[in-house]
Every structure is written in structure tokens, then in C-alpha cells.
Amino acid sequence: MEEIPESGGHIAPELIADLAAASRILAAQGVVDAFGHVSMRHPSAPDRYLMARSIAPALVTPDDIIEYDLDSRPCNANRRGSFLERFIHGEIYRVRPDITSIVHSHSASVIPFGLVGVTMRAMFHNAAFIAAGVPVFDIRDKFGATDMLIRDGEKGLALAEAMGSNDIVLMRAHGSVACGPTLQTAVFRAVYTEVNARIQHWTTALGGDADMAALDSAEGELADAVNQTAGMRAWDLWRTQVRSQVSW
């Protein structure tokens, strides 16, 4: 039998509820559908993280949350199934101590930017963090023909390395990952990455080859700082909407 790692310790039920709510928020905002996931680093054990069992994000409840070590081995699965692609989370947490929350999605507007040589740029202030750069990970470069999934630690590490010091990475013909220093910021960034992609498609359709007056990196840094505080109004709205449907 495979060894079961020890838990990192007690977590406040409100935090577990917020993580469960984050799944439902991402589904309601069109970032995830039947697939995709959000995780949160353990608040007192940096070598542990929390993520729902393998289930559609809109259905997640606090009882679905499983704790993992950074090898993405469950501490308390109790026969609950794990997401195949949990290694995305474990490996990014391992190499990026500044990141506390990660969203992985296959949202449709973002995928084209991983398929053609057009760089995603920050179209408006809500997506400011994109101005720091958007690398594209191509699983084929290192692993040849695959089923495209990040289904082990080696692939997770390669993805984390492609992301580097950015807080976003696109995955060719698959999806994207958005991260943040808090759960709320990661959710905000994932939502506005999808919106930003739509705006860039419209801008391209409107302007053709004209210059795109996107945020530059200095503007991106300034606006992202605002998003991490004032932008939390969005979280309050979305969290309230989830609370109107469930008792947690």
C-alpha cells in the first residue's frame, strides 16, 4: 500500500468553505465547466495544499476538500477520487513559495493564445497581472505525443518551470493556469484572464493590424496592486452569491 502522508494540521472551516465556494464561483463565471480546479496552500503547513476531490466544480462542497502533500499524494482521501491533473498544483507550490492559490481551467477564449504565435496582453486594468508576461507551455517539447494532461510530477514541474516567475501560464491545446498570493486574488485573476482573452479577440477584430494600446508592465504592476485590495469587492459579491445557494 502506498504511504499516506501526515496532515499539516487543523484548518479553519471558514477557509475550507471559501475554497469550496471558489470552485462554484469559477463555474458561475464561465472559467471552469465540468473540468478544471482551484487549490489553496495549507495556511500553516506550506508543504501541504487543499483541493476538491475529482468532481465538477459547480458541485463542490466543503466535504469534498482533500489535503495533499507536494508530491500530490492525498493525506485524507478516504476513498474519494483525486483529480488526474493535481500535479499542476503540487509542483507549482513546490517551486513558488510566494503562491498560495492556483486555478487550472480550459476556458475557451484563452486557448487560442496557446495555439498561435500571438501574445496575450493586458487589455484592461482588471487583468493587469497579465502585463508581466504570459508564457506558453508546450507539453510536446519535452514529452512528445501525450494525452496533453499533467498527470505526474515530472510534467507538473516542466509546467512550473515554463511559468517561471509569472503568475500565469498557457498550455498549448489544453488550457491555462492562473495563480496568486491569496485564494481571492487567484480567483479574480482567473476570471479576468478569461474576460481579457475575449477583449483581445474583439480588439484584434476591431483594429486589425493597428497597434494595441494595452497596459505596459509598469501600469500592470500598479493596477494589479489595486486589484489585490479594492478588487476584492468582486470576491465579496461572488461569495455572497454562493452563500445564497448553500448553507456554508
Q: Which residues are catalytic?
A: 85
The residue among 15 and 55 lying less far from Zn ion, judged by its C-beta, is: 55
Q: Which amino acid is present at 229? A: T
- Torsion over CA: 149, 155, 160, 162 (sign): negative
Shortest distance, position 135 Cβ to Zn ion, whole Å: 17
Pairing mode, if any, of strands 168-171 and 136-137? parallel
Single out the residue of 177, 159, 155 nearest to residue 168, CA to CA. 177
205 DSSP 8-state letter: H
The residue among 22 and 123 lying less far from Zn ion, judged by its C-beta, is: 22
Binders of Zn ion among residues 116 to 145 (CB under 5 A) are none
Binders of Zn ion among residues 153 to 192 (CB under 5 A) are 175
Shortest distance, position 22 Cβ to Zn ion, whole Å: 17
Shortest distance, position 159 Cβ to Zn ion, whole Å: 10
The residue among 5 and 153 lying less far from Zn ion, judged by its C-beta, is: 153
Contact 170, 114 (CB under 8 A): yes
What mask, x for binding Zn ion by CB under 5 A, covers residues 69 to 108? Answer: ----------------x-----------------------
Q: Residue 99 to residues 2, 49, 240: CA-CA distances in angstroms? A: 28, 11, 25
Within 10 angstroms of residue 83's Cβ, the number of other Cβ atoms is 24
Q: Which amino acid is present at 109? A: S
Contact 11, 50 (CB under 8 A): yes
Integer Cα distance of 160 and 87 in angstroms: 10
Q: How many chain residues interact with Zn ion (CB under 5 A)?
A: 2
Shortest distance, position 31 Cβ to Zn ion, whole Å: 12
The residue among 114 and 175 lying less far from Zn ion, judged by its C-beta, is: 175
Binders of Zn ion among residues 207 to 226 (CB under 5 A) are none
Q: Which residues bind Zn ion (CB under 5 A)?
A: 85, 175
